[in-house]
């Protein structure tokens, strides 16, 4: 286990760090109606470093009213796609130009390593640029019956979109929802995660500078059970896009049902990485190390179950454990750090409890607790590897959402498939093999919304993103995002004589 030189005692604090965060409603920063706030902790010291306004139903009502007014009376939904696209490109330019500052604040607030936070900031800019281009290039269907009928499709923005985002890579995941929601002409109310509200507070200034009309973007901070719940239950919010854990997704599903809302939910994952004996082992080890330990292991698509064919199992486990032990843990702001501090002491306790469970279920081959030499403050967890994990073990079945991986052997393709599909989740999967036929057939049989063959998680923004089973409902990405944030209206035009069956003329009374 290695660690960087900069530890919690020498914590770097970004310049001009705010001590309070407000809501942003109808173009203005405002406190909660009742004045309530909540504490936000620095994950390296676990000390409160700012107070954020704690939104409740009254605050959500104000934000939705502003967004609804901007939708019904404002220019945004009525702009030409090219006009909206120009503003989205300006947003992307601003995010790119401030990437270092965004990354610094994101890393401080979330505990993400600074280099990875920088990559997420740049990805946020690319999300806006992608949808800015897509709405200009977008085409819709036309269906023709020559001389008789023409049918075409109109796409129309739906209204106020409620966006509820998680605390892992918060700024990037906010952009993933904000980009298509705004591009298609909707107005939005964003409810960021309470653990990490800092970077979300920067959107207001970016949007104002880019020329987004007042009321189009609104931000309400607060707890999920207060602000998030009020947003889901608001009758004037027809769309909810949520990223988070599966249990919260079930609650949202139930609470949105009476209103028949459109839902897009990307939920939890326990994604398998399947390594066959004919795989490039070095590439597979590098990718699966990165796949579970990047972003501190706090990622929904983490390959947290590695299934390895028996012929190469012992070699894989030995090499994997040795490399995991060399992963650099340290202060999130140090560029050498590969795993930083987990986001919050509550989450740290959860991950550590799973590590203790794992010690009674499997063979610990790397990590297993707080890294050596680290002070007792801060949410640091050593990259932890369990081998010989049974498929009925809790660490095999349940999402841990931290730098913890379970490795399990298999003998046949059929056994590997049963193990891969043997959990309630179905978000992502990774397959490592040099057999082309096996690669395609196996990936098709896996119950997962996304599969990467001989690859780490490299996302093409045009492709569908989403899961099956307990991992989600619906897909976003490319045209799937356009579909979610728009109504598709079919228009039918008769080009010839009207084809009207005649009722009521067969026995007209004589006069």
Residue by residue, DSSP assigns 121-181 as HHHHHHHHHHHHHHHHH----EEEETTTEEEEEEEEE-SEEEEE--SSSHHHHHHHHHHHH
Give the N- to C-terminal CA distance of the chain in Å, as an integer: 102
The DSSP bridge pattern shows strands 328-329 and 472-473 to be unpaired
Options 104, 194, 266, 338, the catalytic residue = 266
Nearest by Cα to 6 from 299, 349, 375, 353: 375
How far apart CA 181 and CA 190 sit, in angstroms, is: 11
Reported pTM = 0.95
CB atoms within 10 A of CB 353: 11
Query: 266 catalytic, yes or no?
Result: yes
Options 104, 174, 300, 338, the catalytic residue = 300
CB 154 within 8 A of CB 488: yes
Beta-bridged to residue 163, according to DSSP, are 190, 241
Tens-digit pLDDT string for the chain (511 aa) = 555 444 544 678 999 999 999 999 999 999 999 999 999 999 999 999 999 999 999 999 999 999 999 999 999 999 999 999 999 999 999 999 999 999 999 999 999 999 999 999 999 999 999 999 999 999 999 999 999 999 999 999 999 999 999 999 999 999 999 999 999 999 999 999 999 999 999 999 999 999 999 999 999 999 999 999 999 999 999 999 999 999 999 999 999 999 999 999 999 999 999 999 999 999 999 999 999 999 999 999 999 999 999 999 999 999 999 999 999 999 999 999 999 999 999 999 999 999 999 999 999 999 999 999 998 889 999 999 999 999 999 999 999 999 999 999 999 999 999 999 999 999 999 999 999 999 999 999 999 999 999 999 999 999 999 999 999 999 999 999 999 999 999 999 999 988 788 888 876 666 6
What is the rounded (10 degree) CA torsion for 134, 137, 143, 145? 180
Query: 300 catalytic, yes or no?
Result: yes
How far apart CA 227 and CA 245 sit, in angstroms, is: 17
How far apart CA 124 and CA 119 sit, in angstroms, is: 9
Instruction: Give the chain's radius of gyration (CA, Å).
Output: 25
Beta-bridged to residue 191, according to DSSP, are 164
């Amino acid at each position: 286990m290695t660690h960087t030189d900069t530890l919690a005692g020498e914590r770097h604090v970004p310049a001009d760090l705010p001590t309070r965060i407000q809501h942003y409603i109808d173009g203005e920063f405002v406190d909660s109606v009742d004045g309530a706030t909540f504490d936000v902790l620095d994950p390296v010291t676990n000390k409160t470093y700012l107070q954020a306004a704690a939104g409740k139903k009254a605050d959500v009502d104000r934000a939705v009213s502003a967004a609804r007014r901007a939708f019904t009376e404002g220019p945004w939904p009525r702009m030409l796609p090219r006009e909206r696209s120009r503003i989205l490109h300006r947003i992307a330019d601003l995010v790119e130009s401030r990437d270092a500052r965004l990354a610094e604040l994101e890393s401080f607030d979330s505990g993400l390593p600074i280099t990875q936070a920088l990559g997420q900031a740049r990805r946020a800019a690319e999300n806006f640029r992608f949808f800015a281009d897509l709405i200009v290039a977008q085409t819709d269907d036309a269906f023709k019956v020559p001389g008789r009928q023409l049918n075409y499709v109109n796409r129309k923005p739906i209204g106020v979109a409620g966006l509820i985002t998680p605390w892992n890579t918060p700024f990037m995941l906010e952009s993933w929802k904000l980009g298509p929601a705004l591009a298609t002409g909707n107005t939005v109310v964003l409810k960021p995660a309470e653990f990490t509200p800092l970077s979300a507070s920067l959107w207001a200034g970016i949007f104002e500078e880019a020329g987004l009309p007042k009321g189009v973007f609104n931000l309400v901070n607060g707890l999920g059970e207060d602000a998030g719940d009020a947003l889901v239950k608001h009758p004037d919010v027809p769309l909810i896009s949520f990223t988070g854990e599966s249990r919260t997704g079930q609650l949202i599903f139930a609470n949105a049902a009476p209103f028949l809302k459109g839902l897009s939910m990307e939920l939890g994952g326990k994604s398998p990485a399947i390594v066959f004996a004919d795989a490039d082992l070095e590439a597979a080890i590098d990718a699966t190390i990165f796949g579970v330990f990047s972003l501190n292991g706090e990622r929904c698509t983490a390959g947290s179950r590695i299934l390895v064919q028996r012929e190469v199992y012992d070699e894989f486990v030995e090499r994997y454990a040795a490399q995991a032990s060399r992963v650099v843990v340290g202060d999130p702001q140090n560029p050498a750090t590969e795993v930083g501090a987990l986001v919050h002491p509550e989450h740290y306790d959860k991950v550590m409890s799973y590590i203790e469970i794992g010690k009674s279920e499997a063979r610990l081959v790397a990590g297993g607790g707080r890294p050596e030499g680290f002070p007792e403050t801060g949410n640091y967890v050593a990259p932890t590897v369990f081998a010989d994990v049974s498929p009925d073990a809790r660490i095999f079945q349940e999402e841990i959402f931290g730098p913890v991986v379970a490795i399990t052997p298999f003998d046949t393709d059929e056994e590997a498939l049963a193990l891969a599909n043997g959990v309630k989740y179905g978000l992502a999967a990774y397959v490592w093999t040099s057999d082309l036929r096996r690669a395609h057939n196996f990936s098709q049989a896996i119950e997962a919304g996304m599969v990467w063959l001989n690859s780490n998680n490299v996302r093409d923004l045009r492709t569908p993103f989403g899961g099956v089973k307990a991992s989600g409902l619906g897909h976003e990405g490319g045209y799937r995002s356009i579909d979610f944030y728009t109504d598709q209206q079919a228009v039918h035009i008769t080009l010839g004589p009207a084809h009207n069956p005649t009722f009521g003329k067969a026995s007209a009374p004589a006069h």
